Amino acid sequence: MKSLLWSGGAEQASCSEGGRRLAQNAVSAMASCSASIQARLARSEAAVKLGAEHRLVGGTRRD
């Protein structure tokens, strides 16, 4: 079975290249997802801060 898997150098190179591309795509997808989560978190924190300031200014602070 092992000799069948390692019989072709071209197939091995192609598989290796495909694996490398797949890994790069996964890394870039994770980075993109992380950036999206960080942006969403920043917007959420800003909304919470704005809401807290609004409650303080309005005089109806509810804790």
Is 36 part of a structural domain of the chain?
yes
- Of 57 and 34, the structure prediction assigns the larger pLDDT to 34
Q: What is the mean pLDDT of the chain?
A: 76
> Which element (helix H / strand E) includes 60?
none
Confidence at residue 1, expressed as pLDDT on a 0 to 100 scale? 45
Is 33 part of a structural domain of the chain?
yes
Q: What is the pLDDT of residues 4-29, one digit of tens each?
A: 555 555 555 667 888 888 989 998 98
Residues, the chain: 63
- Count Cα neighbours of 24 within 13 Å in the Cβ-side half-sphere: 6
What pTM does this model have? Answer: 0.46
Range of the structural domain that residue 21 is part of: 10-58
Is 2 part of a structural domain of the chain?
no
**Structural domain total, the chain:** 1
Percentage of the chain modeled with pLDDT above 90:
17
Confidence at residue 41, expressed as pLDDT on a 0 to 100 scale? 93
